[in-house]
Amino acid sequence: MRFIDEYRDPEAARQYAEALAKITTRPWTIMEVCGGQTHAIIKFGVDTLLPPQITLLHGPGCPVCVTPVELIDRAIELAARPDVIFTSFGDMLRVPGSRTDLLSVKAGGGDVRMVYSPLDALKIARLNPDKQVVFFAVGFETTAPANAMAVYQARQLGIKNFSILVSHVLVPPAIEAILSAPDCRVSGFLAAGHVCAVVGFEEYYPLAAKYRVPFVVTGFEPLDILQGVYMVVKQLEEGRAEVENQYSRTVRREGNVPAQALLREVFQVTHRKWRGIGEIPHSGLALRPEFAAYDAEQRFGLAGPGVEEDTECISGLVLQGVKKPHECPAFGTRCTPERPLGATMVSSEGACAAYYRYRRRELFSDPA
Amino acid sequence: MCLAVPGRILDISGDDPIMRTGRVDFGGVVKEVNLAYVPEAQAGEYVIVHAGFAISTLDEAEASKVFEYLREIGDLDELEVGDDAVY
C-alpha cells in the first residue's frame, strides 16, 4: 500500500542502522510510549538492527494494558445485564478482570459486540431502542476524538439509550511520571506519532527543558522508527535536549485543531489510575458535567472502591521500563496470550504479547 | 490501539460538518470514514484514519523526508570521512 510499503524498505533500513552505529559512542536508553511502535519494533526486529549500546524500553503505551482492573470489572458487570448491549474494540474482550473477562460473559449469553468505531456502537443504539447500548471508551489522545464525536452525535441526534464507560488516558503525564521517578533510566523518548497528530507536540517542550531529555515525534513503520532513534541519539551525542518531528507527513506542531475543540467540549482532564502503575494526577479524561447523561458509570450507578490485584504479574515494572517481559518468571510458562496473568500479555500491542509472539523461540533457546 | 492507516478519499458526502463522510480506499478495501476533523481534505487526497475517523491529512510533500534525511546524513558522512563513505 502507498505510504506504508516504502517505509519498510530493507536497504534503507540497513543504511539507517549503519549511520546510527557511526554516531553512537556511548550507551543510551530510549523509550517509546506507544503499543503500535512496540509491536512494530519487535515484529520487524528494529531493535536487532541497532548498535549494542542502544537499549529500547517499551513504556506504558498500550491503553488496553493500563486500564485498571476495577474498570474491567465494571464493564463485565454491565455486559452481563440482560438490558445491555455492550460494545468494545476487540482487544478489550480478553483482558482479565479480577474474576473473568468480557469474552467469557459473551460465551455465557451476554450481548457483547466488537466494533471498529464508536459510531458503529451509536448505530447499534439507533437500531435497538429497547436496549441500553454501552461503548467501552478506552484509549489515548488518538482515540478520544472518535469517542467525543460519538457522544456529541448522540446528543445532537437525541439518542438516549447510548452511554460510554470512560477509561481515557493521556500520554504526557505518564511520561512525566516516568521521568520524575528516582530510578529513571530513560535518556530520550520517541513520542507517539498518532497521539501527536491529534494534540500536537507543544506539551513536550517544557518536559524536554525540565528533564533535559530529547523527544522525537515518530511514526510507526520501521524506517520511521529507525530515523526517530537516529534523531534522538544524535541529540544525545551532541548534548542537546530538544523536541523534533520525524513524522512530519502526518503530524503538525499544533495537532488537529477541530478535534481538540470537540475534545474540550465533551471531556475534561481528571486523575486516572493506571493498571500496574497507580494513580497519575491529571492523566486522563472524563465526560464534562454537561454530558453526564452519557456516562455509563453514572447511568448505572457503578462507581465504587477499587480492588487490589493479587497476582505474580510484573506488568507494572514492564510498563515503566524497569523490567523486560522475559525477565518475568511467569513469561511463556504460567502466562501466555491464551492464559494471560496481566494485560501486557493480552493486547497484541502489549510488550509481553509482542515478545511472546515474535521472540519466544530465541528467548527460550538462549540461556542468557 | 493507536493504529491509524493512510487511505485515499474517493468521494465526500454530508453537508452537516459533524456528519461529513467520505469513502476512503485502503489499497482496494473501501470504507466509510468520518471527515469532520479534516474539513480541508478533498477527494483524491490521503488521510490518516483511526477508529472510523480521519485524524490528519497526509502531507505528500513531507512523505519523502525519511529518504531525504537518509541521503543528507550519507552526504555529511562522505564529507567527513572521505572515501570511507556509505555509498
pLDDT digits (tens, 9 = 90+) for A160-210: 999 999 999 999 999 999 999 888 989 999 999 999 999 999 999 999 999
B55/A117 touch (CB, cutoff 8 Å), yes or no:
no
- Mean pLDDT of the A208-213 span: 98
- How far is Cα A63 from Cα A285, in angstroms, rounded to an integer? 13
Whether residues A162 and A87 fall in one domain: yes
Whether residues A162 and A282 fall in one domain: yes
Confidence check: pLDDT of B2 > 80: no
A36/B39 touch (CB, cutoff 8 Å), yes or no:
no
In a domain, A305, yes or no: no
Q: Which position has the higher pLDDT, A307 or A38?
A: A38
Q: Which domain holds residue B30?
A: 5-81
Share of chain A above pLDDT 70, in %: 96
Q: B56: which chain A residues are within 8 Å (Cβ-Cβ)?
A: 197-198, 250-252, 256
Give the CB-side neighbour count of residue A71, counting CA atoms within 13 A: 25
pTM for the whole structure: 0.92
Residue of B27, B51, B62 lying closest to A143 (CB–CB): B51
Residue of B2, B27, B38 lying closest to A194 (CB–CB): B2
- Mean pLDDT of the A335-364 span: 83
Whether residues A134 and A11 fall in one domain: no
Confidence check: pLDDT of B82 > 60: no
Q: A248: which chain B residues are within 8 Å (Cβ-Cβ)?
A: 59, 62, 65
In a domain, B17, yes or no: yes
CA dihedral A178, A183, A189, A193 (to 10 degrees): -30
Residue of B27, B34, B55 lying closest to A198 (CB–CB): B55
Confidence check: pLDDT of A334 > 70: yes
- At A365 the pLDDT is 62
Whether residues A115 and A132 fall in one domain: yes
Q: Which position has the higher pLDDT, A341 or A139?
A: A139
In a domain, B76, yes or no: yes
Q: B6: which chain A residues are within 8 Å (Cβ-Cβ)?
A: 1-4
In a domain, A74, yes or no: yes
pLDDT band at B81; cut points 50, 70, 90: low
pLDDT digits (tens, 9 = 90+) for A240-284: 999 999 999 999 999 999 999 999 999 999 999 998 788 999 999
In a domain, B27, yes or no: yes
Residue of B35, B55, B58, B84 best to disrupt the A interface, most CBs of A under 10 A = B55
Whether residues A16 and A113 fall in one domain: no
- Mean pLDDT of the B49-60 span: 97
Whether residues A276 and A156 fall in one domain: yes
- How far is Cα A88 from Cα A71, in angstroms, rounded to an integer? 13
In a domain, A193, yes or no: yes
pLDDT band at A228; cut points 50, 70, 90: very high
B70/A15 touch (CB, cutoff 8 Å), yes or no:
yes
pLDDT band at B84; cut points 50, 70, 90: very low
A256/B36 touch (CB, cutoff 8 Å), yes or no:
no
CA dihedral A138, A225, A2, A253 (to 10 degrees): 70
In a domain, B66, yes or no: yes
Residue of A3, A143, A256 lying closest to B58 (CB–CB): A3
- At A321 the pLDDT is 80
Considering its fold, how many domains does chain A have in total?
2
In a domain, B36, yes or no: yes
A74-84 exposure pattern, b = at least 16 Cβ within 10 A, e = fewer: bbbebbbbeeb
Looking at residue A265, which CATH number applies to its domain?
Answer: 3.40.50.11740
Looking at residue A238, which CATH number applies to its domain?
Answer: 3.40.50.11750
Size of interface A-B (CB pairs under 8 A): 133
Whether residues A155 and A269 fall in one domain: yes
CB atoms within 10 A of CB A283: 23
A142/B38 touch (CB, cutoff 8 Å), yes or no:
no
Q: B37: which chain A residues are within 8 Å (Cβ-Cβ)?
A: 145, 256, 258-259, 262
Whether residues A128 and A89 fall in one domain: yes
Looking at residue B76, which CATH number applies to its domain?
Answer: 2.30.30.140
Instruction: Establish if A66 touches chain B: CB-CB under 8 angstroms.
Output: no
In a domain, B37, yes or no: yes
Confidence check: pLDDT of A232 > 70: yes
B residues 26-65 closer than 8 Å to A (CB): 26-27, 34, 36-39, 46, 48, 50-53, 55-56, 58-60, 62-63, 65
Instruction: Establish if B25 touches chain A: CB-CB under 8 angstroms.
Output: no
Q: B34: which chain A residues are within 8 Å (Cβ-Cβ)?
A: 117, 119, 146, 149
Q: A241, A209, A242, A247: which is closest to A228 by C-alpha?
A: A247
In a domain, A113, yes or no: yes
Confidence check: pLDDT of B87 > 50: no
B2/A139 touch (CB, cutoff 8 Å), yes or no:
yes
Of A235, A268, A299, the position where a domain reaches its end is: A299
Confidence check: pLDDT of A131 > 80: yes
- At A95 the pLDDT is 87
Residue of A22, A249, A262 lying closest to B59 (CB–CB): A249
- Listed ranges A66-75, A358-367, B33-42, B76-85; the one with the highest mean pLDDT: B33-42
DSSP letter (8 states) at residue B75: H
Whether residues A275 and A179 fall in one domain: no
ipTM score: 0.91
DSSP β-bridge partners for residue B7: B47
Confidence check: pLDDT of A366 > 70: no
In a domain, B40, yes or no: yes
B53/A146 touch (CB, cutoff 8 Å), yes or no:
yes
Whether residues A202 and A212 fall in one domain: yes
Residue of B56, B67, B86 lying closest to A250 (CB–CB): B56
A residues 158-177 closer than 8 Å to B (CB): none
Instruction: Establish if B12 touches chain A: CB-CB under 8 angstroms.
Output: no
pLDDT band at B23; cut points 50, 70, 90: very high
Considering its fold, how many domains does chain B have in total?
1
Confidence check: pLDDT of A78 > 80: yes
Q: Which domain holds residue A59?
A: 5-63+172-245
In a domain, B86, yes or no: no
A residues 103-132 closer than 8 Å to B (CB): 116-120
Whether residues A184 and A36 fall in one domain: yes
B50/A146 touch (CB, cutoff 8 Å), yes or no:
yes
